[in-house]
Amino acid sequence: MSSALSHDELEAYFALRTAGDRLQRAVTGQLREHGLTEVQFSVLATLAAEPGGLGMTDLARALVVTKSGLTYQATQMEARGLVARSTSAEDERAVRVELTPAGLRLLAEVMPGHVALVRELLIDRIDPTALATVRDALRQVTGEPRNSRSGPGATER
Amino acid sequence: MSSALSHDELEAYFALRTAGDRLQRAVTGQLREHGLTEVQFSVLATLAAEPGGLGMTDLARALVVTKSGLTYQATQMEARGLVARSTSAEDERAVRVELTPAGLRLLAEVMPGHVALVRELLIDRIDPTALATVRDALRQVTGEPRNSRSGPGATER
DNA sequence: AAAGATTGACTGCTCAATCTTC
DNA sequence: GAAGATTGAGCAGTCAATCTTT
């Protein structure tokens, strides 16, 4: 039982959704120039910090995408030589995804423009003192799905 | 030139994207139960506040969607009887979209659950005093201090 | 020529089902 | 049976091109 959202609450909700949408649109457009989708970029960025590679499920969870969606993207990226998939030695079920040198190179090529864009569209528009507040508040939002309710996780059926 | 993003800045960026993604996923899933996509829900909500109806371009701009995407959704919704399209009397080019009684009814039916979900996933997780800060900060990001509806839109090429 | 809107081809993604290995 | 991953069907959305009216 929850009452209607107050004006401020509604505004906050809209602001979040709109800000997220706008940022996403801009980023997507820029990445497109490099032939990358957003998920692909996230894959590159995430794997760059994981020299040992990652399992598909773990990677999917980290990126908040479905496993099948990740498989699709991984196939595209592998065909382009950006990542390599290999079956794990210990667990024959598991597939480990790793960044190739080409993938790392592309990431390095894309990163500066990406950072500049995020700075221009997001960081530079938020008061530095407010930034920490925003970050902390949004972290609470991403925090694990609260008990009692059907967790809105990206779990596949 | 812009330097790399600091840790805090990166975290803020990441938090925004992740929070937006999670919220979107949860909302999408819930709306699906009513056979609505997110855009369709936004159409209902927006038109409910516009008794006179809206032109396709204006509506698309308000929703931050492309015109062709909106046309697609409008077709689906019209087939389902949720909205009605009619050519404007003054301008033969313009199409006015309006909510039907059935559309209004469905909106009323969906709204409570939607509000509850947003409250649970977003509002209740943010400290009330921080909420205003977050709202204001994100408003800066969307880049429209003017409250007129002439926001920089998703104009089609 | 410009503005409003739609259409068609194509992509990315989700869901449900399947296969394999544990 | 459960976990890791993939496949195939189908939907929502983008882009480019087109049509009509101004």
Between chains, do A142 and B11 touch, taking CB under 8 Å as contact? no
Please write the tens of the pLDDT for every residue from A33-86: 899 999 999 999 999 999 889 999 999 988 888 999 999 999 999 999 999 999
B:14-53 Cβ neighbours of strand C under 7 Å? 29, 32
Between chains, do B19 and A133 touch, taking CB under 8 Å as contact? no
pTM: 0.83
B69 nearest nucleotide via C1' and CA: D13
Q: Which residues of B85-112 are buried (b: 16+ CB within 10 A; e: fewer)?
A: eeeeeeeeeebbbebbeebeebbeebee
pLDDT at A155: 46
Which of A17, A31, A114 has the most B C-beta neighbours within 10 Å, making it the best mutation to test the interface with B? A17
Provide the pairing of β-strand B83-87 with A95-99: unpaired
pLDDT at A1: 56
